[in-house]
Homo-oligomer: A and B are copies of this chain.
Amino acid sequence: VKMTHAARRDGAHTIAITNDTASPLANEADRVLDIHAGPERSVAATKTFVTSAVAGLALYADWAGDDDLRAALLYLPAQLKLAAEIDWPELRESIGQRPSLFTTGRGPAWAISGEAALKFKETCQLHAESYSSAEILHGPISIVDAGFPVLSLAAGDAAEPGLVDVADRIAEMGAQVFVTSEMCRKARRIDYVRTGHPLTDPLALIVSFYSMVERLALDRGVDPDIPRHLRKVTETV
């Protein structure tokens, strides 16, 4: 809210993406985009993550005049419904009670990889760390031992072949690598929905992830709606 106030004061045009059009943030901004997520009851926010990204993409599609993206957004609700039915039981079994794993992505899917790692921590008390597939072979790979789980989130974009190549290399080291792509040779393919546009594909991936991670938390005996040490609002120090 303070940053929006400062930006507006200095002459910027401010747009609030919010789930509450009566919120202090909405009151502070020049324009308001309502994400219509409905009340977010969970501490580990999921609906608001997806709908905020959709609002941002809709804004971008109009701004850039990207008709392919507009079309993909039109069909996205049906695609996300399909994505939510995906569960990845083979990944859940591989993780089991292990303490640690990596997620990888590249480009927009790298952002999704970061969200996945955070939700593994919040809902499963599992030390998941996200890496760009361009970086993971430089050092981080040293902690990968036999059976170490890796979730590689590939979208249908220009980064897919490179990301899958890295996933295959990590699988060759003995890790259990799961990837949302047909291109893999050594890593294991897991189910995914393609949405017709590289910028909406990552949203389908995270929706499938959310379905899986809720079940994984329950498998591990953790209540995913009550993350340890967290409340709904965290003050930034």
A137 contacts across to B, CB distance below 8 A: 229, 234-235, 237
How many copies of the chain does the oligomer comprise? 2
* In the assembled complex, A201 has its CB within 8 A of some CB on chain B: no
Contact of A229 with B134 at beta-carbon distance under 8 Å, contacts A118-B140, A129-B127, A166-B237 already known? no
Contact of A228 with B142 at beta-carbon distance under 8 Å, contacts A99-B99, A237-B133, A237-B137 already known? yes
Nearest to A123 among chain B residues (CB) is B142
Chain B nearest CB, measured from A101 CB (Å): 9
* In the assembled complex, A121 has its CB within 8 A of some CB on chain B: yes
Instruction: Sort chain A's interface into a size bin.
Output: 20 to 34
Main secondary structure of the interface of A (DSSP, over half): loop
* In the assembled complex, A214 has its CB within 8 A of some CB on chain B: no
A142 touches B121 (CB 8 A): yes
Instruction: State in angstroms the CA–CA spacing of A134 and B144 once bound together.
Output: 29
* In the assembled complex, A41 has its CB within 8 A of some CB on chain B: no
Our pick among B44, B99, B123, B229 for the contact of A173 (Cβ within 8 Å) is B229
Chain B nearest CB, measured from A210 CB (Å): 15
A234 touches B138 (CB 8 A): yes
10 of the cross-chain contacts (CB-CB < 8 Å) are A99-B100, A99-B127, A118-B139, A121-B142, A125-B142, A127-B143, A133-B237, A139-B234, A141-B230, A166-B237
Give the top 7 A-B pairs by smallest Cβ distance, nearest first: A100-B127, A142-B227, A141-B229, A122-B142, A138-B234, A142-B228, A121-B143
